[in-house]
Structure 1
């Protein structure tokens, strides 16, 4: 299996053309994160300075003696000014003047102390000799003060100077949230659009590469598996870019911002949070190690299921004709069960190593924070604002970790799917990628001279299907190829089309080795008509010109159809050449589909024409009608005809008789009949004659 890190690096390579947009999105994300993380700091200031600021030291002055230019509160015919007001905004008032006072809240009632308490602790109110007394206890330390209760109306007067700054902080917080929301929307839109462009390019790359692969790849790879790679697996990779990439980047930036804020508030506890990160990394490493195997099996089982569905749907007629529905159902149930078991192993792994593990760590961290602040409060006063901000940041710190862990499963599935996509993209396609150094890829019109020189070929090294094949075809000649099933006829044609390369020998075209030509340009001058022609979804005109929009005009299409006797049935259709064609040409007979494939070959005007059992699906009457069309089609081009129906090749210039991968006879129709060999026997059998055993 491919290294997941190399797979990730390769995926990230697709982001190179989009570096600018990604960079801008990340900068917007950083600004948005900073705006959002400013909230606890604002809350801390609102609590400590403005809400609980009433309990900070005050200076009390007689009327007429208080400094001016600062907020003031009139209470009990005295002027009260908080000490920090005297130093705010760079003011340098004399804070030694006036009398020190403090206001403390106990059970929702505020009391005025005659001095400032030296420490914070538990507060209790008692009545003694008709007077109210406040006692503050911290461990073994205790102090008591005679106090006076402040009426609620007067308390509001003490808070009056804080209304405006509190309102400003609230508006600032709302503004920052709006800014963060707008920036997050812009960066999410940018990252998402970039991700969709990347996955669009990946799909184009794999589809383009599939068209360049040799036929051998498609022979050994089930169609359902290939479809699963291009559709299901690329869709899983899309999740990596569309969802995972954006979420991971956003949450990592968010975590870094929270750590910075924690260091500002309490460096010791921030270091403890950093110390927990290796533990998180270990959990992630364990998850990736075990999940990669499980997800590989999941994607493989899904491909098997897709392959079976594809095969069953295409062969539904056979399944129903032989009443094998129950057997197919049983096979599908087995495949589905293996897929279910693989998915269930995924669920168990996710349930163990993802959210539960992080929840345990986060709860442990929260307990440590409570213990830390509790122990510190025994020695030093801890402001409520700091405690609130720290707990808020701590809960936010584990939110992105939980989000990342929850998405880790999807990420691993995406990486596994990416490995499968890259396996296809890494399939070598050396033949289709060759370029002709002499002609820079351009090939002029071929004359059609073809020579096989001692060619041997095997699909597998231990099973040779062609042995020392040698023959030559002159320009304009028609070569007939006959033989029993398995004699090597189609294999010979596959070599000529460049679908495979011979293990021994050389194929020459117009005096040059076939491998010296750019294969795509060479195939541009060949046309193939198969026994079971493939008709594409679209219309008749599209199937004849086959994506060729400039080189083949409507007139060329009609001329080609007329030449092969296809125009009569096409023009009888309600929409003529624009008649819709359903999948695989299911709305036409096999003979009509074959005529369309003849017209396709004629329209492309090839230098070399290959007919592989091309008339096997055509009735005798139709065959007689298109024989003249075939003669017209073969004029001026070298034609190879594989035929079981020997009447098709009676006029061939050369007939090759294959047996077990060897040419055992060659000559014209008359010459082979006079020789009374294998060809003679085959011909007599088709004519209904009796042949004596030799």
Structure 2
């Protein structure tokens, strides 16, 4: 159950929690004793025969002292509970964020980015309300209720017993509300998540939305989701307005009438103590104050429970990124790569790779070519261990891919994507990636090696030039050069290039090609290529079609076969395959 799992987070702070709870008990005690003091004073001292200044000063001073003590203790317990709540939600957010970092790419293939962001931010924020507002409020009000009933029994046992019938009625109303509102809140959180996903999609694709004039369509789609969220909120407001505040107010009026009638009937058989009457009416006020408070918090409670279920559903995900297996710690030394009869499917039904086998010897360049959807990127995804190898084997230096530690793989295999990703920070941090073992001098050497130094040194801040989100202020070619420098700063044994020159102009491409020649020396290189002119010097070219290897050989060998590679070459070179 979500509530139990949420409460487990309090174990770390149980000492502070119990101290705050003790302060809450003491503060509540001071609150409920106050009406008893006033009642006693009215019945026994506010009469001519017993009245004196000393009793007035004694009771007045005691009453004021209790109020000061109550205020101080309430401040401490409230501050403590709020602090604990902030600590807990900080830990929960770190747990969720840490979990997401280790989920496999198969999970991200199915979950929209905006929906995931909604769970990490909006849902954890709703859970925070549980700790800060709901939990502390329920604890305070439950303790206050218990204290008030104890005070009632001190005043009049018989009437207090009658008032106990209030509790099952109140808890029944609360339970009804929880059951009816649960479905509504699930819909509300789902629609909010979908709105975040749509918002994220529209922001990322704003250039295409505006160029294709899709603004009105996106507005209508977002408006439909927004309207569904609004309808769910209205349903909950109607339910809240019907079952909570009016119900408790009606119950309060009925109870006051019952108490007054009780004292009215008692007056026929004997004197009614005004102090006891005052005390009961005062305590009844104090009963319905916490009941109203808890009723008002029920909405947040239900929302927090639904959000917690969504957060824990994410924490319970099992689609982890492929992990190291076995006790050994092999090291990549030469970079020999072997695919042996590898088949792979993303959805478990349709194979995107079928019986792929090839060997890339140390220092060789192996190029993967083929039409879109032929399986080139899937080979890279498996080699980088983004997805598990379920059929066939992949070996590096004779060791199975799953026997390597993640740190070893990431340190020895350098990946350059067609669309390079830059992090918020500066140029230097994007090349170093916060690896303290890479010095400033090595950063500059890597930039010079890939021909990135000339444009970096012309920037106003040089290597300290700020980088915005995704490197939006840099051109595609500049981002690609920085990603090259990042890769070379690692000094990897294996290079994986996913059409690494596609985002640069012709002049820059020539500079990069000369840098790539130096980069490939002494390193095994696996390169995806769409432009066949960039891989003519490859030691081995593998031609893929619908997930299968249909041809392999050098550039000249493949042209001589006059097969699929030959047709692709003619199309790119002359615009015809005839």
Smaller-chain TM-score range? Answer: over 0.9
Residue in 2 that maps onto 1:232:
122
State the Cα distance separating 1:300 from its structure 2 match.
0.5
Tell me, what secondary structure is at the counterpart of 2:346? strand
State the Cα distance separating 1:547 from its structure 2 match.
2.8
Aligned counterparts of 1:199 and 1:436: Cα–Cα separation in 2: 36
Aligned counterparts of 1:168 and 1:648: Cα–Cα separation in 2: 97
State the Cα distance separating 1:652 from its structure 2 match.
1.6
For residues 477-522 of structure 1, the C-alpha deviation after alignment (integer angstroms, 9 at most, x for no partner) is: 2111000001011111111111112342122222222223333542
Which residue, 365, 370, 379 being the options, matches 2:269? 379
Residue in 2 that maps onto 1:646:
532
State the Cα distance separating 1:433 from its structure 2 match.
5.1
Residue in 2 that maps onto 1:569:
455
2:28, 2:70 within 8 Å by CA — same for their partners in 1?
A: yes
Which residue, 374, 386, 399 being the options, matches 1:487? 374
Aligned counterparts of 1:472 and 1:274: Cα–Cα separation in 2: 81
Tell me, what secondary structure is at the counterpart of 1:524? helix
Aligned CA distance change for structure 1 residues 431 and 227 (closer, same or farther; 3 Å)? closer
Aligned counterparts of 1:522 and 1:261: Cα–Cα separation in 2: 69
Which residue, 177, 192, 198 being the options, matches 1:308? 198
Residue in 2 that maps onto 1:43:
38
State the Cα distance separating 1:429 from its structure 2 match.
4.0
Aligned counterparts of 2:79 and 2:575: Cα–Cα separation in 1: 78
Aligned CA distance change for structure 1 residues 386 and 336 (closer, same or farther; 3 Å)? same
The answer on 1:171 being equivalent to 2:56 is no
Which residue, 92, 96, 101 being the options, matches 1:206? 96
Aligned counterparts of 1:224 and 1:636: Cα–Cα separation in 2: 43
Aligned counterparts of 1:271 and 1:515: Cα–Cα separation in 2: 69
State the Cα distance separating 1:437 from its structure 2 match.
2.1
| Greater relative CO (CA pairs within 8 A, separation 6+) | 2
Residue in 1 that maps onto 2:365:
478
Aligned counterparts of 1:289 and 1:562: Cα–Cα separation in 2: 65
Tell me, what secondary structure is at the counterpart of 1:687? helix
Aligned counterparts of 2:251 and 2:333: Cα–Cα separation in 1: 74
Residue in 1 that maps onto 2:418:
531
Give the structure with the higher percent strand: 1
Query: How high is the TM-score relative to the length of structure 1?
Result: 0.81
Residue in 2 that maps onto 1:499:
386
Aligned counterparts of 1:524 and 1:347: Cα–Cα separation in 2: 55
User: What pairs with 1:305-384 in structure 2 (closer than 5 Å)?
Assistant: 305-384=195-274
Aligned counterparts of 2:416 and 2:477: Cα–Cα separation in 1: 13
Aligned counterparts of 1:427 and 1:524: Cα–Cα separation in 2: 27
Residue in 2 that maps onto 1:512:
399
User: What pairs with 1:28-427 in structure 2 (closer than 5 Å)?
Assistant: 28-51=23-46, 53-54=47-48, 159=51, 162-427=52-317
1:558, 1:567 within 8 Å by CA — same for their partners in 2?
A: yes
1:432, 1:518 within 8 Å by CA — same for their partners in 2?
A: no
State the Cα distance separating 1:269 from its structure 2 match.
2.2
For residues 99-133 of structure 1, the C-alpha deviation after alignment (integer angstroms, 9 at most, x for no partner) is: xxxxxxxxxxxxxxxxxxxxxxxxxxxxxxxxxxx
Aligned CA distance change for structure 1 residues 446 and 387 (closer, same or farther; 3 Å)? farther
How many residues align structurally? 578
2:501, 2:512 within 8 Å by CA — same for their partners in 1?
A: no
Aligned counterparts of 2:159 and 2:490: Cα–Cα separation in 1: 76
State the Cα distance separating 1:625 from its structure 2 match.
0.7
Aligned CA distance change for structure 1 residues 522 and 436 (closer, same or farther; 3 Å)? farther
The answer on 1:452 being equivalent to 2:339 is yes
Aligned counterparts of 1:432 and 1:656: Cα–Cα separation in 2: 26
Residue in 1 that maps onto 2:465:
579
Cα RMSD for the two superposed structures: 1.6
The answer for unaligned runs of 5 or more in structure 2 is none
Residue in 2 that maps onto 1:635:
521
2:322, 2:386 within 8 Å by CA — same for their partners in 1?
A: no
Residue in 1 that maps onto 2:564:
678
User: What pairs with 1:605-616 in structure 2 (closer than 5 Å)?
Assistant: 605-616=491-502
Aligned counterparts of 2:508 and 2:471: Cα–Cα separation in 1: 19
Q: Which moved more, 1:332-341 or 1:627-636?
A: 627-636
State the Cα distance separating 1:579 from its structure 2 match.
0.6
For residues 117-150 of structure 1, the C-alpha deviation after alignment (integer angstroms, 9 at most, x for no partner) is: xxxxxxxxxxxxxxxxxxxxxxxxxxxxxxxxxx
Q: Which moved more, 1:646-655 or 1:412-421?
A: 646-655
1:212, 1:433 within 8 Å by CA — same for their partners in 2?
A: no
Tell me, what secondary structure is at the counterpart of 2:437? coil
Aligned counterparts of 2:44 and 2:2: Cα–Cα separation in 1: 53
For residues 605-626 of structure 1, the C-alpha deviation after alignment (integer angstroms, 9 at most, x for no partner) is: 2222211111111122211111
2:24, 2:77 within 8 Å by CA — same for their partners in 1?
A: yes
Aligned counterparts of 1:522 and 1:427: Cα–Cα separation in 2: 24
Tell me, what secondary structure is at the counterpart of 2:318? coil
Aligned counterparts of 1:403 and 1:536: Cα–Cα separation in 2: 46
2:529, 2:535 within 8 Å by CA — same for their partners in 1?
A: yes
Residue in 2 that maps onto 1:20:
15
2:322, 2:387 within 8 Å by CA — same for their partners in 1?
A: no
Which residue, 588, 606, 618 being the options, matches 2:474? 588
State the Cα distance separating 1:435 from its structure 2 match.
5.5
Q: Which moved more, 1:274-283 or 1:6-15?
A: 274-283
Aligned counterparts of 1:303 and 1:250: Cα–Cα separation in 2: 33
Aligned counterparts of 1:601 and 1:273: Cα–Cα separation in 2: 75
Tell me, what secondary structure is at the counterpart of 1:331? helix
Aligned CA distance change for structure 1 residues 597 and 390 (closer, same or farther; 3 Å)? same
Which residue, 353, 357, 363 being the options, matches 1:466? 353
Aligned counterparts of 1:435 and 1:408: Cα–Cα separation in 2: 47
1:212, 1:432 within 8 Å by CA — same for their partners in 2?
A: no
Aligned CA distance change for structure 1 residues 308 and 265 (closer, same or farther; 3 Å)? same
State the Cα distance separating 1:436 from its structure 2 match.
4.1
Aligned counterparts of 1:187 and 1:434: Cα–Cα separation in 2: 47
Aligned CA distance change for structure 1 residues 281 and 609 (closer, same or farther; 3 Å)? same
Aligned counterparts of 2:146 and 2:406: Cα–Cα separation in 1: 55
Aligned counterparts of 2:36 and 2:323: Cα–Cα separation in 1: 61
State the Cα distance separating 1:48 from its structure 2 match.
1.0
Aligned CA distance change for structure 1 residues 429 and 555 (closer, same or farther; 3 Å)? farther
